[in-house]
Each structure stands twice: as structure tokens, then as C-alpha cells.
Amino acid sequence: MQRQSGMQFLTGAVIEPARAVAGSALRALYPPYCMTCDTLIDEHGALCPECWRQTPFIFGLCCDLCGVPLPGQDSPGAAAIICDDCITIARPWEQGRAAMLYGDKARQILLGLKYRDRLDHVPPAAKWLSRAAQPLLLPDMLITPIPLHWLRLLKRRYNQAALLSHALARETGLAHCPDLLIRIRNTGTQDGRGREGRFANLQGAIRPHPRRAHLIRNRHILLVDDVMTAGATFSAATEACLAHGAASVRVIALARVASRG
């Protein structure tokens, strides 16, 4: 009993304060700054109040297929509403969401993650994705990222969609497969391509990994990417999953590029 009490005393009175001191020292050396500016804040991986106001998070009523915000109020139990784009363009997936609109501070966050090695953006982004993904989640769902071609992965050194999907899986407690799909053709950038060009460029470019295809059959799949624009990449990945027996496919992006038309 004395040994046990001594251990309890050591744990409660020595180890925990030591951790607190170490944490304080670390904060003194590396104080937490806002993700998108130089403002000091209370914790790492957060936005200051001003940048939060400038980040276009999506709340309330939104398109059930792409997540773009819609006018009106979100009513529990109401029928799903589809935006004009998703009425015009056939979506092979069942539901879709996005955490924010692409613009203002959201663009800064995305570009930092994609091109500037701001991997510290991943944990907070996963929390935003988890909130947005709640209407999509199903038991035994498998989360997987949109794949990069190996040449682009070699150049960039990491797939930002895979980092987001892995963090989202941890947030939700769902299974994750980082290489369920592969991009068999280097499709290059979609920038500068019109809607038809984007879809044509991705046609047949994504397939299941030969050693992972069995994981798709009769499974609900959640595809994760950093940005959704026209939806061409999500469409190609969804079609690949459905062709190999997926029970359903849902999609989520950190940011949605809203139509200007």
C-alpha cells in the first residue's frame, strides 16, 4: 500500500507539474500564433478572432451534393436541396459537403497546406472537416483521399488530401486507407481548364490500387480532397469506386470553389 501511495504521489505531485513546466517552457520558446497572421493567440492551430471572421466557413443550409451554401434556413428532417450546378452536372456520388468556401483566409490556409509545407494546418482542418462531414458518416465507412500521380507526389513530397483524410479518420474513429485509389495518368493541373476540359482530363485517370480493390466491395466510401471546383476529380474517383462494387460514395472537401455564373 505504501508503494502504491508513493507512486500515486509521484504521479500527481511530480510528473504532472513537470509536464506543466515543460509545456510552459515550450510555449515561451514557441508561442502560439494565428494560423494566417502574426497575432498571438491562446493555443496552437487556431485562428485569431479577426481571421476567423475572414474565413468563410459553411454553416446552415447547403447543397446536399457539393456543400455550397444556399439561401434559406436549414430545417432538420427537410428534403435535401440541390444547387443549380448539381442539377446541371450529374454527380455520381450520393452526398457531398465542404468545410468552407474557397476565398479570403480559406485560400491562404489551402495554399499554405498545398505548396508551403504548412502541415500544422492539418489538425485544425480535420476538426472543420469532421464537423462538416457529420451528415455523411455511416458505420463501417472507409475514408480515403483523392490520389496524386506518383510524379507529382515525388515533386510535392506529400499528398495533402491524404494528410487530411488520415486526420479526419482519427477525428471520426473510422477506418482509413491512404492508397485505396491510384492516379494512373499524370493529369497535370486543372487550372485554366473549363468545366468540360476538367472532366475530359480526368476521364479514366483514377483506378483502385490492385492490392486494395477488395476493400471497396460493399463498402461505404468517403472521398477526401482539399478543394472541389467543378467536381471532375471527385467524379472520376467515385466512378472508379462504384465500378468495383462500392455500396455508396460520399465526398468532402476542405474548401468549395463557388460558381461565378
| Contact present, 81 and 69 (Cβ < 8 Å) | no
Three-state DSSP state, 144: strand
227 Rama sector, left if φ>0, alpha if ψ -120 to 50, beta otherwise: beta
What is residue 142's three-state secondary structure?
strand
pLDDT at res. 169: 98
Task: Determine the longest span between alpha carbons in the chain, in angstroms.
Answer: 75
**Residue 69 gets which letter from DSSP?**
B
Q: What are phi and psi of 176, to 5 degrees?
A: -135, 135
The predicted structure's pLDDT at residue 23: 44
Buried b (16+ CB within 10 A) or exposed e, 91-101: bbbebbbbbbb
- Only one residue has cell 490556409, namely 109
Per-residue pLDDT of the chain (261 residues; tens, 9 = 90+): 444 444 443 344 444 454 444 444 445 556 889 988 989 988 888 899 999 999 999 999 999 999 999 998 887 777 889 999 999 999 999 999 999 999 889 999 999 998 889 999 999 999 999 999 999 999 999 999 999 998 988 888 999 999 999 999 999 999 999 999 999 988 867 766 777 778 888 888 999 999 999 999 999 999 999 999 989 999 999 999 999 999 999 999 999 998 754
Q: Do residues 169 and 176 lie in contact, with contact meaning Cβ atoms separated by under 8 Å?
A: yes
pTM of the model: 0.85
Task: Determine contact, residues 180/215, Cβ cutoff 8 Å.
Answer: yes
Phi, psi of 89, rounded to the nearest 5 degrees: -105, 125
pLDDT of 78 reads: 77
C-alpha cell at 239: 466512378
State residue 196's pLDDT score. Answer: 76
Q: Is the CB of residue 185 less than 8 Å from the CB of residue 163?
A: no
The pLDDT, as a whole number, for residue 4 is 45
Q: What is the pLDDT of residue 110?
A: 94
Which three cell numbers, joined as nine digits, stand for 32?
502560439
Note whether 73 and 60 are within 8 A (CB): yes
Q: Residue 158: what pLDDT? A: 93
Q: Which pLDDT belongs to residue 25?
A: 47
The CATH classification of domain 56-256, taken from the options 1.10.3720.10, 3.20.20.480, 3.40.50.2020, 1.10.1740.10? 3.40.50.2020
- Across-strand partners of 224? 145, 252
Q: Where are the alpha helices (DSSP H) in the chain?
A: 2-10, 16-29, 49-53, 84-88, 104-115, 122-133, 150-156, 160-172, 195-202, 232-243
The three grid cell numbers given for residue 33, joined into one nine-digit string: 500564433
Closest by CA position to 194, among listed 141, 232, 168: 232
